[in-house]
Amino acid sequence: MVKDFIVNSSNLARNASKALKYLHKKDKNFPKLKVTEDDFELIKCYLGSGYGVKTIRGQKAVDTIFELEGKEKGFDLETTYTGKAMAGMFDFLIKEENKNKIILFWNTYNSNDLDNYIKETQFDYKKLPKKFHKFFEETNFQCWQITNCPDDIKMDCPAYLNHEYRFWRIIECQHDEDSKNKAYEELNNVIKLEDA
């Protein structure tokens, strides 16, 4: 997802130090902590072959968290960033030397929830720079694309523009059984999970 010159121990220590300084400035009771490069362990090999590529471990982490926390508490992951990070966390936690450690997985989400904005503006990917168009044109990977979902259903549907491509995990679809089955079959054939 990102090159090592961006994500490395030096940058992490610098950014963490800035965050800690900011927190202490806002609340003097927040302890003054020193962070060094040695405080970080970078775990790699979870990214897949390219941006947005879904991986088996990433998808499994998304599904596991959904079952443990997502349904009840709304703790949701997606397959491009947070699912892969959680897959790495799971593998980290099962190591014998980490079993008694207290570990925090801090999912900051996005500070701006763009879901409603995207729906209200009827998002047009062609307004994005040309190099991003391929993510929308290469294959249909959403149920509403496959079924040509009518606007009156689509705009109120939780699956519309949702990062979870498996619509059957989100909603009871309002389409007829043939349309649902077509979307289900096509999505199962289109979405490939890499073993990464």
- 32-56 pLDDT, tens digit each: 999 999 998 888 888 888 777 889 9
pLDDT for residue 78 is more than 90: no
In a domain, 153, yes or no: yes
Position 18 scores a pLDDT of 95
Q: Residue 138 falls within a domain, yes or no?
A: yes
The count of structural domains within the chain is 1
Please check whether residue 34 is in contact with residue 1, taking contact to mean a CB–CB distance below 8 angstroms.
no
Neighbours of 127 (CB within 10 A): 8
- The predicted pLDDT at position 34 comes to 94
Calculate the alpha carbon distances from 32 to 19, 35, 38, 49 in Å: 11, 10, 18, 40
Per-residue pLDDT tens for 151-161?
888 777 777 76
Average pLDDT over residues 75-86: 87
Pick the closest to residue 115 from 106, 127, 123, 107 (CA basis).
Answer: 123
- More confident position, 163 or 14: 14
Please tell me the predicted confidence (pLDDT) of residue 20.
Answer: 94
In a domain, 167, yes or no: yes
Task: Report if residue 170 sits inside a domain.
Answer: yes
Q: Does residue 39 lie within any of the structural domains?
A: no
pLDDT at 24: 94
Question: How far, in whole angstroms, is CA 26 from its chain's centroid?
Answer: 30
Is 84 part of any domain?
Answer: no
> Could you tell me the CA-to-CA distances from 137 to 87, 91, 125, 133, 140 in Å, in that order?
28, 34, 10, 6, 7
Q: Hunting for tokens 């963490």 — which residue is that?
A: 16
User: Is residue 11 situated within a structural domain?
Assistant: no
Give the pLDDT score at 38.
Answer: 94
pLDDT bucket at 1, cuts 50 / 70 / 90: very low
Using CB atoms within 10 Å of the CB of residue 147, give its burial: 0 to 12 exposed, 13 to 18 middle, 19+ buried. buried
- Is residue 80 included in any domain, yes or no? no
pLDDT interval class at 182 (50, 70, 90): confident
The three-state secondary structure class of 109 is coil
Q: Range of 169's domain?
A: 110-187
Q: How confident is the model at residue 173 (pLDDT cuts 50, 70, 90)?
A: confident
pTM: 0.67
Structure confidence at residue 144 as a pLDDT band (50, 70, 90)? confident
pLDDT of residue 139 exceeding 90, the answer is no
Spatial separation of the C-alpha atoms in residues 146 and 117, rounded to whole Å: 23
Is pLDDT at 65 greater than 60 in this prediction?
A: yes
Confidence of residue 112 (pLDDT cuts 50, 70, 90): low
* Integer Cα distance of 68 and 51 in angstroms: 27
Q: Answer yes or no: is pLDDT of 25 > 80.
A: yes
Q: Tokens in use for 50?
A: 């390219």
The helix (run of H) or strand (run of E) holding residue 144 is: helix 143-146
Exposed, middle or buried, 163 (CB in 10 Å: 0-12/13-18/19+)? middle
